[in-house]
Amino acid sequence: MILRKPDFYSQFKCTASRCSDTCCVGWEIDIDESSQRAYRKVEGPFGDRLRASIEDGHFKLLPHDRCPFLDKGNLCEIYKNLGEGALCQICREHPRFVEVYGDIMEKGLGLCCEEAVRLLLATEGPLSFTAEECDEPEDELDEEDREIRNQVLYEREQIFSALANSATPFSERLYTAFGITDENPFAPLANARDLYELLAKTVSFGPAWDNALTRIKARIDAASADSIPIEDQGYFNETESSRLLAYLVYRHFAKCLFEGHADGKRNFAVFFWNIVRLFTRELGGKINAIKILSRQLEYCEENMEIVESALDT
């Protein structure tokens, strides 16, 4: 099995209480069976509290959707009392993700995490990957499926290569990779109103998104549908844009092998990129813009289906 990881993956370390946010608020926290068995054996008052806080395989959230073991300093009491090994699987792994395509495993960091976003944008040069052998079991693919897999990964490599080619103007790289130019800041949609209406169809993950979408709508209403200026000057440079676009393609495009929507998954990268460029201010700065949009879209299967279907040309 070949294990592939993006160039900034190994640098990641949770910033814990130094993070301006927390991944222990606003999410349903599922507890894997192995962790549940371990929690049943924890003795004393903390063990009693652990068991009382579990319902139907997940922690019973407190008001404002806080994990019951998140202390006032936004630190995990399970970690503090029992150690890192006692964390349930999702808490140990988040924001990491894994995809397997036959004998190729790919890992990455979800952009719902501000430290992951910071590392993605701060690393110099075009996005690159490491590859190494690992002992994980591979998924069986017949010859036909392997050929399709290889073709999809080849197409993805062409996108990576186009975006990384700093010898050509960025507008040409965009056209080679996605068939668009930088003349339409709302691509792959026609205008700002279409962009907003597609976002409005998605299921909200919470007040932070509702407030952001309200600000986006207000700005669109204050201008004509196709006159909103690009606001990435001082926010995103070409390297950051190239890395973000390539990373979104890395995370989503190859999943068309299982889910279809190949064009929709390719176009999603441009859709996401244009939203964060257009509405960086409304979304609270470039790191927060990526983080909040990732939570709203990438972490909801229903929302990804809505968007990718709409963008599937």
- Could you read off the pLDDT of 33-52 as tens digits, one per residue? 999 899 999 999 999 999 99
Is the confidence at residue 3, as pLDDT, over 90? yes
3-state SS class at 300:
coil
- Could you read off the pLDDT of 228-255 as tens digits, one per residue? 665 544 578 999 999 999 999 999 999 9
Q: Give the N- to C-terminal CA distance of the chain in Å, as an integer.
A: 34
Query: Minimal CA–CA distance to 276: which of 195, 165, 166?
Result: 195
Q: How far apart are alpha carbons 267 and 287 in whole angstroms?
A: 21
Return the CA Rg of the chain: 21
- Measured from the Cβ of residue 232, the count of other Cβ atoms closer than 10 Å reads 19
* Domain regions of the chain by residue span: 24-93, 141-311
- Could you read off the pLDDT of 21-33 as tens digits, one per residue? 878 787 778 899 9
